[in-house]
Chains A and B, each alone.
Chain A
Amino acid sequence: MQGVQLLMSNTETIPGMSITQSFGVVTGSTVRAKHIGKDILAGFKNIVGGELKSYTELLMEARNEALGRMMADAMARGANAVVNVRFATSSVAGGAAELFAYGTAVAVE
């Protein structure tokens, strides 16, 4: 996966290039939860409100992971770009969150 640059956009096309072939929907997802120590620390930060940095970092990392899995899926299909990338988040039981990324794998020139 290293060294190969996959183009990504959340628009219908890759600006400045034309799509020659579509490979269908590619997805990537991951479920994450934080350990109890961070949970408690975030609870204390909640006293005054504001940003909960540990959650921000965890979710960013997880979303990059989901994106990476989506890119791996797209590469396995022989695509060199993913268009119309969308994100979805849902909280599943026990304080865990599912981060989900999906898009359409295409070949562009």
Chain B
Amino acid sequence: MVDFQVWMIPVFLFSVLPSLLFLFSLLFAGRYQNGLIKKLLERENLFLQQNGKDNIHTITSLYPEREITGCGLVMTNISIGPSWWQMFVGGIKAGIFGGEVRSYDKILAWGRQEALQRLREVSKVNGWDDVINVRMETSMLQQTKGGNGKTGSIEIIAYGTGVR
């Protein structure tokens, strides 16, 4: 058994702990994200069952046509981040080999669907029957502040005009 010494604190903080967290990311991030996708699918199915049809459209007219009595802006957002492991693999793929970078696929696809699902739910809560002219936008928010470079965050917004 090694005796405790002061130099062990920085060694633990800056080399052992990050390695352990990285290993944790490799082992559990995929499982966690699969759980998120599963939960989202359940919510989508439940919404479809309750509402009977999808209520968001990218077109500006409703078919079959009907009278519109009120409108207002509906907007939802989500900001997502890939796991450390995904960022690491993506960084190597993008920085050295090029080609398709698959490691971001899962989290981006989930984020988009989640933003759309929130738009469906929020518009229902706000009392709109349908949302027309839905637009989506993705933007990368860089974190240079703090300087560890470990936070990658992507913001996805979905907005449209709610009508009743």
Which residues of A come within 8 Å of B, CB atoms? 7-12, 14-16, 33, 36, 39-40, 42-43, 45-52, 55-56, 59-60, 63, 67, 85-91, 93-97
Is B119 part of the binding interface, using a Cβ–Cβ cutoff of 8 Å? no
A52 adjacent to B33 (CB under 8 Å): no
Tell me the bound Cα distance from A12 to B133 in angstroms.
Answer: 10
B89 within 8 Å of A by Cβ? no
The listed residue (B33, B148, B150, B152) touching A48 by CB distance below 8 A is B33
Q: Is the CB of A63 within 8 A of B79?
A: no
Q: What are 13 A-B pairs with beta-carbon distances under 8 A?
A: A9-B73, A9-B133, A11-B133, A36-B145, A43-B146, A47-B83, A49-B80, A49-B81, A51-B79, A67-B73, A89-B137, A95-B144, A95-B146
Q: Note all chain A residues with C-beta closer than 8 A to B111.
A: 51
Interface residues of B (CB under 8 A from A): 21, 24-25, 28-29, 32-33, 36, 60, 67-73, 75, 77-84, 86-87, 107, 111, 114, 132-133, 135, 137, 139-146, 148, 150-153, 155, 157, 159-161, 163
- Assuming the contacts A15-B161, A87-B159, A89-B137, asked whether A48 and B28 have C-beta atoms less than 8 A apart, the reply is yes
A43-B151 in contact (CB<8A): yes
Inter-subunit contact B139/A90 (CB<8 Å): yes
Q: Which A residue sits closest to B72, measured CB to CB?
A: A8
CA gap between A18 and B110 in the complex, in Å? 39
Please give the distance in Å from B152's CB to the nearest CB on chain A.
Answer: 7
A90 to B68 CA separation, bound complex (whole angstroms): 35
Q: How many Å lie between the Cα of A47 and that of B163 in the bound state?
A: 40
